[in-house]
Amino acid sequence: MSRSIAIWGATGSIGQQTLDVIRRHPHEFEVFALTARSASDQLIRSCEEFRPRFAVVRDHAVSELVSKLKGVNSKTAVLSYRDQSALTEIYAAQVTVTAVTGAAGLDSVVESIRAGSRVLIANKEPVVMLGRLLQDLIHKHGTAVLPVDSELNAIFQCSGGLSGGQFQPFQKIAGLRRILLTGSGGPFLKTELDALIHVTPQQAVAHPIWSMGAKISVDSATMMNKGLEIIEVRWFFDTPPEKIKVVVHPQGIVHSMVEYEDGSVLAQLGSPDMRIPISNTLFWPDRRSSGAEFLNLTQLSGLNFQKPDFIRYPCLKLAHAVARAGGTSAAVMNASNEEAVAAFLSSKIHFPCIARVVRESVERLGDHRVESIEHIQAADAQARIVARESIQKMSI
C-alpha cells in the first residue's frame, strides 16, 4: 500500500532528488504535499507531475501559485505557511522529508515530529539549533527520525541502521570509539590562503563533487557544513564532541566511518549522489534502487584522507568549540552563518569574512543553557542582528 509523503523544500536539490526516487517507485508513495518559498516554474512542474493534495508557499507567492496552477491541476489546494491549522494535516503525513534550507525549516521539523510522522531529516540547521530539545521531543512523541544528510546516513548504516529494525535515533552507539566524519574540503582545498579574499560566489558554489543548493555549497567551501554536522552527529548519535573526528577526504566516496573499541572501522561507500541516502531513508529497513550510479572500485584512482587545516577552515575550529559548549551558541553560530553566507552570495562581503562574522557573533553573545524552543528562536534573532552589524562593518 502506498504511503502519503510531504516534502518540505520540494523545489530544491534534496526535494527534487527525493521526487526522482519516488518517480522510480510510483506505487510506493502518494505525494500528499509539496512546499517551497515561491511559486517557481519548478513547483508548477512538480505539482503537474505528482498532483499533490496541497502545495504550500510563503504568503507573497500564494496568489501567483493559485493563478499559475489554474488549468494545470485542479486537484492541488494552495496554502500559505500562515494557515497553521490547515498545515496540521500535512505535518501528519505518514512520511515527511524536511529539505528546506536553513532555520526557516524549523517548524516543519518540530511539527512533523510532534505529529508522529516518520521524519527524514535533511535540513540540518534545525537539528543544530535545537540540540538536546530535539532529543527530548523525539523521545516524548516516539517518532521515527532518520538522517538523510549523507555523513549521518553513513554513520546510521554503520551502526544500528545496519541491523535493520533495531535503530533508535538519538541513542548512543554501543562500543563506539570514534566517529570519523568525512568531508571533501570543498572547492578551495588547495587555493592559496592569500587568494581566498578574491574568490567569487560562483567559484564557491561550484562544488567539485556534489551538486547542491547555494547555501550548503558555500558551507562546504568554508567547511562550516562539517562544523554543523559535528553538532548534528553530537545530538543524533548522542556522542560527546571529543569522539567526533573530521577527516578530509577529497574524493567523496567514503561518506563517514564508525570506529569501534575492538579496532574495527566500518565505512559506508557509494557514488556522491544524495539519492542513495534519500532512498535508504525512504525505504528503510528495506533497500530499493535509487537511480545512482554503482561504484566501480577498480576505476577509482585512490582514496585519500588527511587532517583538516584549521587555518584554512576557521569555521570548523569554531564549530568544535560550539559543540563542546552545548548551549545556545549553536543557534547563534548557525544564524550568523546564514546571514554571512547570504551577504557573501550577494557580494556584500569577501569570502574570509564569513568566518569573522560568525566568530564575532559567537564571542559577543556567548553560550547559555537551552531552555525552550522560544529561547532558541530568540538567540537566533539576536544573532542575526549582531551578524548584520558585523557585515555592515566588513562590507565591500
244 scored as a contact of ligand NDP (CB under 6 A): no
213 scored as a contact of ligand NDP (CB under 6 A): yes
Name, in order, each residue with C-beta under 8 angstroms of 270's C-beta and a sequence gap of 6 or more: 253, 255, 276, 292, 295
149 scored as a contact of ligand NDP (CB under 6 A): yes
Stretch near ligand NDP under the rule CB under 6 A, chosen from 44-52, 211-219, 249-257, 340-348: 211-219
Answer for the pair 332, 383: CB distance below 8 angstroms, yes or no: yes
Query: Residues 24, 51, 53, 58: which binds ligand NDP (CB under 6 A)?
Result: 58
- Alpha-helical (H) ranges within the chain are 13-24, 41-50, 62-69, 84-91, 106-114, 124-130, 132-141, 150-158, 201-205, 214-222, 224-236, 275-283, 314-325, 329-345, 353-365, 373-394
323 scored as a contact of ligand NDP (CB under 6 A): no
Query: Residues 122, 343, 370, 379: which binds ligand NDP (CB under 6 A)?
Result: 122
Between 7 and 318, name the residue whose CB sits nearer to ligand NDP.
7
Q: How many residues bind ligand NDP (CB under 6 A)?
A: 27
Q: Which residue has the cell 544528510?
A: 149
Query: Residues 95, 146, 216, 282: which binds ligand NDP (CB under 6 A)?
Result: 216
Residue 31 interacting partner from Mg ion, ligand NDP, none (CB closer than 5 to 8 Å by kind): none
Tell me the C-alpha distance between 341 and 201, whole Å: 9
Tell me the C-alpha distance between 313 and 189, whole Å: 9
Residue 372, phi then psi, degrees to nearest 5: -160, 170
Query: Residues 25, 40, 77, 201: which binds ligand NDP (CB under 6 A)?
Result: 40
**Interface characters, 7-36, with ligand NDP (x: CB under 6 A):** --xxxxxxx--------------------x
Residue 151 interacting partner from Mg ion, ligand NDP, none (CB closer than 5 to 8 Å by kind): Mg ion
Answer for the pair 146, 119: CB distance below 8 angstroms, yes or no: yes
Answer for the pair 349, 391: CB distance below 8 angstroms, yes or no: yes
Stretch near Mg ion under the rule CB under 5 A, chosen from 11-19, 151-159, 196-204, 273-281: 151-159
Tell me the C-alpha distance between 252 and 51, whole Å: 35
Residues 91-150 that bind Mg ion (CB under 5 A): 149-150
